[in-house]
Structure formats: structure tokens, C-alpha cells
């Protein structure tokens, strides 16, 4: 395989014209395959290896916490990932450099297809230098000859090549000739191959437009009745009206949403899970619908107790909403938060929250409550509740619930109401449309190229003492179309196969 590759690369090199050879090497499919392989490797690293977030790059504290979570997840391997800079591939210049070289390769390939002047050499150098017997295995050659009698008016080498060119044009081949006109190149169905390169360039342009102009808001939680401004200079807001079970295939829930402008409803619709929706250039996508708990607490006299959560920090509320993520596998903690446990004193407590667990603190009672969502096929909304005193590590009370209920903990009553909330992603990305157009053009070019592969043929003639010999060549093994075309050329030009 290595020898074949060396032979094929040697074919592309013409010592008489290094710049032309460099052009053909950079525009070759070998360079494209190498760049695509490098790009696929980088994308694989980005998908498989956790990438350092932008906030961690600019905040030393956030960076330290992120590195700690990485070490907890990967152990000693985290040091190698950090030293090799594999955690920073996404934000490095390397993917952009490889993508730039790929764009350059695609541009050269597209230029070659639109103006195939560099194809004049092709496999012709190998065939002319060593004859057909010495040609590489991937080049199929065929020679036809006509005998010229002395002092006759038979065709010269240039005339014979011209007649071949006229015949190829009659077959709708695109013709490129050399200066002496005894050496020509022709191809057909090149437009289908050009569509693939053009589509890839359009898709890459879409990626660039997305990177420069798009904006997204991720992991936005919307519960029933909650309003979220869209921001980014727009006077729009989105409100979740209800989260309900869905009857559509592939979606278990859907969210009824309303778009607001200055408090007035301007549009309403449904967002099924994992189905996008478009409105006035804005793209909305319901990532998932997850369980939630609304919690209130009252003492024995009916007065409300102040509550706080790791998400709200030291701010206290009479009602809090705990939002869980349904996870089938165990994962590392999402974040670590230190809170004030009592008023007026800096008494801290550290929490490591996983996706399916949440904490609620009751500062006036020096209590903390741990809620664990345990989804099962029989009970899709089951919760396990544990109550802790101060910094104790063992709960003094535990409960199980699967519906709205009130439980008594240390003389106080806690009202728990299960709900659902939607995790929504919305934003604006005009590059996405360009990317889709590029993908469609590329796919169409691939289908058409499979239906009508590109046909390439080289022809040159040489004048001997008593005869003029015409050589025909094409890439790949001799195909039926090439053999049929060569036979027709020989018949119409009254040529006989050379011995």
C-alpha cells in the first residue's frame, strides 16, 4: 500500500514544473483525505475528552474547580489530558488551521474541475516517459495507429489529435488542448464532482457564519407560568404555559409556550421534546422535560419558613423549586457550592450535587433536606427525602413520596408538589441555513457522481517515419465506456490497433 501511494504521488510530481506539481499534490484526494482524517481526529478528541470551558480560561478559581472535577472523574489520566493540552483543543488554533488547509484544498480541487489545465499532464507523463508497459497499475492505456504511405496526404500528428478532439466534443466532452495541439485532455460529468467540493465549501462557510454571528442560550429551565426574556437586544420574552404529556411519536412531553413583546402575546405554540421550532429567525428546541418539586414550609402556627438552595445562594425564599435531571447512569457532581447556614454568621457547608439530587436549607432550624429523584418504570416520579441537622452526615428522618403531599419534619410542615419543567435551548443562527444548503448540495453531488462517475480521457499523437500513432488513456481500470469510445474512435478515423 505504501509503495502504491509513493507511485501515485510520484505521478503527480513533474520535475520540469515544480509549482504545477505542488498545485496538483495540494489539490489531490490524498491531501484531502489526510486533512479530513486530522479534522476527524480533532473532532473525536473534542467529543470524547472534556473541554475546558471559556469561564475557566479567564477565572483562576473556576479553573481550579474544573480541574478538580476532571481529576475526580478521570483520576491520574487527568494529568496527561492537561499536559497534552487535549482539554483545550476546542479553543485552540489547531482545528481552525486544519479547516483552513481543507478549504484551500477544496478551492484548488474546484478550480481544477472548472479549469482543468493542470489535468493535461495527468498520467500522461508516466505513459509517455516509459510507454504503456511501464505505466502504473491504476492507469489504463490503449494505443491505436494508422499507417502513412510515403508521399501520401495522410494525417499528421496534429491533424489526428484534432479529429479525435472533434469526435470527443460530439460526445459532449469538455476539451483542453496543449499548444502544439497534439496533446489533449477531455472529461465529462465533471460538474457532478464539482458539486461535492462546492457543497463542502458552502457548509464550511455556514460554520464560519455561525461562529461569528450566532448566539445561543442553553439549558434554560422553564416551569409552568415562568417568563424568560430572550435578551440580545430583542424586546421578546418566552413564557411556558404548561408542560403536558405528548401524543406525538418520539416525544413523551410537550411544552406550551407563548412569545411576548412588551407583555403582549404575539405567538403561541407547542415544543415537543427534541423537535425544533422556528419563529422569525429564532430557533427553539426543547432538549428534555424533567421532574421538579415545589416546596413550601410552615411552622406549627402557620407562618412560612425561609428556604434557600445552592442555586439561590444566601438569598432566601418562602417557596423554592427543585429541578432534577433524569439520569440512567451515575455521573460526577455538577458543581460544588458553599452556603451560609445561619443568619449573621459565616457558617459554611459544602454540597456536591448530582443530576438527580437537590438540597434545601432551612436556616432558622439549622436543617438541610436532601431530595433524590428515583425514576422507575412503575413509579416515574418517586422521591426520597432525607433530613439532616447541622453538619451531621446521617439523616434523622427519611420519607418516600410519589405525589403531592405534606410531611412533618421536626414539628414543621413541608408541602411538596411534583411538577415537570422544560429544558429549552433557543437562539439565532443564520449560518445553520447555509450549512444545510451546503449539505444538500454535497449530498446531491455524491448521488449524481455515483450515477454518472466522472470520465477522464487523455489523448496524444506522435509522428513516426511511416505512421502516426494515437494514444488514449484513462484513470482506473479500462471501463466499458472507455473501451467502447476507443473502438468508435478507431472505426470512425480508420485506425488499426498498433502491434
**269-299 pLDDT tens trace:** 888 888 888 888 888 888 888 888 889 999 9
Average pLDDT, the chain: 79
pLDDT digits (tens, 9 = 90+) for 194-233: 999 999 999 999 999 998 889 888 878 888 888 888 888 8
CA 355/CA 332 separation, integer angstroms: 9
Question: For residues 409 and 407, what is the distance between their CA atoms, to the nearest angstrom?
Answer: 6
Is 338 a residue whose pLDDT tops 50?
no
Q: Which of the residue ranges 15-19, 47-51, 146-150, 342-346 would you say has the lowest mean pLDDT?
A: 146-150
* Cell numbers placing 133: 508497459
For residue 4, the model assigns a pLDDT of: 56
Mean pLDDT within 248-253: 69
HSE (side-chain half, CA atoms, 13 Å) at 246 = 20
Under 8 Å between Cβ of 467 and 148: yes
Cell of 238: 418566552
Higher pLDDT, 128 or 266: 266
Query: How far apart are alpha carbons 46 and 63 in whole angstroms?
Result: 18
pLDDT score, position 376: 62
Angle at 313 between CA 312 and CA 316, to 5 degrees: 65
Chain centroid, CA 216 distance in Å? 16
Q: What is the pLDDT of residues 368-385, one digit of tens each?
A: 898 988 766 555 568 889
Q: What is the pLDDT of residue 89?
A: 92
Question: What are the phi and psi torsion angles at 364 (to 5°)?
Answer: -70, -15
**Ranges 100-109, 271-280, 372-381, 428-437: which has the least confidence:** 372-381
pLDDT category at 25 given cuts 50, 70, 90 is confident
Confidence at 136, pLDDT banded by 50, 70, 90:
very low
Give pLDDT, residue 254: 84
Look at residue 347 and tell me whether its pLDDT is greater than 70: no
Q: Flag whether pLDDT at 44 surpasses 60.
A: yes
Q: Decide if 474 contacts 485 (C-beta within 8 A).
A: no
What percentage of the chain carries pLDDT values higher than 70? 78
* Residue 144: closest CA among 380, 489, 492: 489
Closest among 459, 461, 489, 484 to 119, alpha carbons compared: 459
Q: What is the SS3 assignment for the chain?
A: CHHHHHHHHHHHCCCCCHHHHHHHHHCCHHHHHHHHHHHHHHHHHHHHCCCCCHHHHHCHHHHHHHHHHHHHHHCCHHHHHHHCCHHHCCCCCHHHHHHHHHHHHHHHHHHHHHCHHHHHCCCHHHHHHHCHHHCCCCEEEEEEEEECCCCCCCCCHHHHHHHHHHHHHHCCCEEEECCCCCEEEEEECHHHHHHHHHHHHHHHHHHHHHHHHCEEEEEEEECCCCEEECCCCCCEEEEEEEEEECCCCCCCEEEEEEEEECCEEEEEEEEEECCEEEECCEEEEEEEEEEEEEEEEECCCCCECCEECCCCCCCCECEEEEECCCCCCCCCCCEEEEEECCCCCCCEEEEEECCCEEEEEEHHHCEEEEEEEECCCCCCCEEEEEEEECCCCCCCEEEEECCCEEEEECCEEEEEEEEEEEEEEEEECCHHHHHHHHHHHHHHHHHHHHHCCCEEEEEEEEECCCEEEEEEEEECCCCHHHHHHHHHHHHHCCCEECC
Contacts of 276 by beta carbon, 8 Å cutoff, 6+ apart: 283, 284, 285
Pairwise pLDDT comparison (348 vs 389), residue with the higher score: 389
Query: When comparing pLDDT for 138 and 51, which is higher?
Result: 51
When mean pLDDT is compared across 3-12, 109-118, 314-323, the lowest value belongs to 3-12
Res. 135 pLDDT band, cuts 50 70 90: very low
The pLDDT assigned to 274 comes to 81
pLDDT-based confidence at residue 151 (cuts at 50, 70, 90): very low
Q: Which three cell numbers stand for residue 329?
A: 447512569
Q: What's the confidence (pLDDT) of residue 457?
A: 87
Angle 136-140-144 (CA atoms, 0-180°, nearest 5)? 125
Sequence-distant contacts of 357-360: CB under 8 A, at least 24 apart: 357/324, 358/293, 358/309, 358/322, 358/323, 358/324, 359/309, 359/310, 360/295, 360/307, 360/308, 360/309, 360/320, 360/322
Q: Give the pLDDT of residue 498.
A: 62
Quick one: pLDDT at residue 69?
79
CA 48 to chain centre: 14
Cell digits for 93? 488554533
For residue 450, count CB atoms less than 10 angstroms from its CB and return exposed for 0-12, middle for 13-18, buried for 19 or more: exposed
- Confidence band of 489 (pLDDT split at 50, 70, 90): confident
- Which residues, including other chains, have CB under 8 Å from residue 36's CB and lie 6 or more apart? 102
Per-residue pLDDT at 180: 60
**What confidence score (pLDDT) does residue 378 get?**
54
pLDDT reported for residue 3: 46
Residue that wins the pLDDT comparison between 92 and 123: 92
| Residue whose cell numbers read 492537561 | 82
Task: Tell the burial category of 387 from Cβ atoms under 10 Å away from its Cβ (0-12, 13-18, 19+).
Answer: buried
**Which of the residue ranges 7-11, 59-63, 138-142, 337-341 has the most confident prediction, judged by mean pLDDT?**
59-63
pLDDT for 118 equals 65
- What distance, in Å, lies between the first and last C-alpha atoms of the chain? 33
- Percentage of residues in the chain having pLDDT higher than 90: 20
**Mean pLDDT of the region 353-359:** 78
Q: pTM, whole model, 2 decimals?
A: 0.69
Q: Which residues pair with 186 in a beta bridge?
A: 175, 457
Beta-carbon contacts of 484 under 8 Å, excluding residues fewer than 6 positions away, are: none
Amino acid at each position: 500500500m505504501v509503495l502504491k501511494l509513493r507511485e501515485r504521488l510520484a505521478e503527480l510530481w513533474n520535475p520540469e514544473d515544480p509549482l504545477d506539481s505542488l498545485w496538483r499534490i495540494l489539490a489531490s484526494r490524498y491531501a484531502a483525505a489526510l486533512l479530513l482524517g486530522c479534522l476527524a481526529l480533532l473532532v473525536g478528541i473534542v467529543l470524547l475528552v472534556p473541554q475546558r470551558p471559556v469561564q475557566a480560561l479567564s477565572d483562576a478559581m473556576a479553573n481550579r474547580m474544573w480541574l478538580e472535577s476532571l481529576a475526580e472523574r478521570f483520576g491520574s489520566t487527568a494529568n496527561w489530558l492537561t499536559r497534552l493540552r487535549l482539554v483545550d483543543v476546542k479553543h485552540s488554533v489547531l482545528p481552525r488551521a486544519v479547516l483552513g488547509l481543507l478549504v484551500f484544498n477544496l478551492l484548488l480541487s474546484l478550480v481544477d474541475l472548472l479549469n482543468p489545465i493542470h489535468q493535461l499532464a495527468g498520467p500522461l507523463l508516466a505513459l509517455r516517459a516509459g510507454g504503456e508497459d511501464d505505466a502504473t497499475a491504476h492507469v489504463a492505456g490503449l494505443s491505436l495507429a494508422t499507417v502513412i504511405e510515403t508521399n501520401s496526404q495522410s494525417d499528421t500528428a496534429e491533424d489526428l489529435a484534432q479529429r479525435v478532439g472533434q469526435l470527443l466534443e460530439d460526445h459532449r466532452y469538455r476539451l483542453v488542448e496543449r499548444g502544439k495541439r497534439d496533446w489533449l485532455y477531455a472529461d465529462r460529468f465533471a460538474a457532478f464532482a464539482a458539486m461535492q467540493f462546492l457543497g463542502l465549501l458552502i457548509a464550511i462557510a455556514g460554520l464560519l457564519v455561525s461562529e461569528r454571528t450566532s448566539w445561543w442560550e442553553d439549558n434554560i429551565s422553564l416551569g409552568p407560568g415562568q417568563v424568560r426574556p430572550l435578551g440580545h437586544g430583542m424586546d421578546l420574552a418566552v413564557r411556558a404555559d404548561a408542560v403536558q404529556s405528548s401524543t406525538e411519536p418520539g416525544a413523551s412531553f410537550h411544552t406550551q409556550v407563548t412569545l411576548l413583546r412588551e407583555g403582549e402575546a404575539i405567538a403561541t405554540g407547542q415544543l415537543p421534546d427534541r423537535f425544533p421550532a422556528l419563529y422569525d429567525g429564532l430557533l427553539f428546541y426543547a432538549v428534555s422535560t424533567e421532574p421538579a418539586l415545589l416546596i413550601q414550609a410552615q411552622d406549627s402556627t402557620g407562618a412560612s419558613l425561609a428556604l434557600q438552595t445552592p442555586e439561590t445562594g444566601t438569598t432566601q425564599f418562602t417557596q423554592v423549586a427543585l429541578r432534577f435531571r433524569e439520569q440512567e447512569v451515575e455521573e460526577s457532581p455538577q458543581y460544588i457550592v458553599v452556603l451560609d447556614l445561619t443568619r449573621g454568621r459565616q457558617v459554611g457547608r459544602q454540597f456536591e450535587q448530582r443530576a438527580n439530587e437537590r438540597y434545601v436549607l432551612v436556616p432558622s432550624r439549622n436543617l438541610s433536606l436532601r431530595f433524590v429523584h428515583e425514576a422507575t418504570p412503575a413509579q416515574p416520579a418517586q422521591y426520597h427525602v432525607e433530613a439532616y441537622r447541622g453538619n451531621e452526615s446521617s439523616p434523622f428522618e427519611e420519607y418516600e413520596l410519589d405525589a403531592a403531599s405534606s410531611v412533618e419534619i421536626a414539628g414543621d410542615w413541608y408541602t411538596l408538589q411534583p411538577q415537570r419543567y422544560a429544558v429549552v435551548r433557543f437562539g439565532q443562527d443564520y449560518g445553520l441555513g447555509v450549512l444545510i444548503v451546503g449539505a444538500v448540495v454535497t449530498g446531491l453531488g455524491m448521488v449524481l457522481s455515483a450515477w454518472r462517475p466522472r470520465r477522464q480521457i487523455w489523448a496524444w499523437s506522435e509522428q513516426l517515419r511511416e505512421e502516426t500513432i494515437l494514444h488514449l488513456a484513462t484513470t482506473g481500470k479500462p471501463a466499458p465506456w472507455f473501451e467502447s469510445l476507443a473502438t468508435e474512435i478507431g472505426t470512425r478515423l480508420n485506425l488499426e490497433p498498433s502491434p
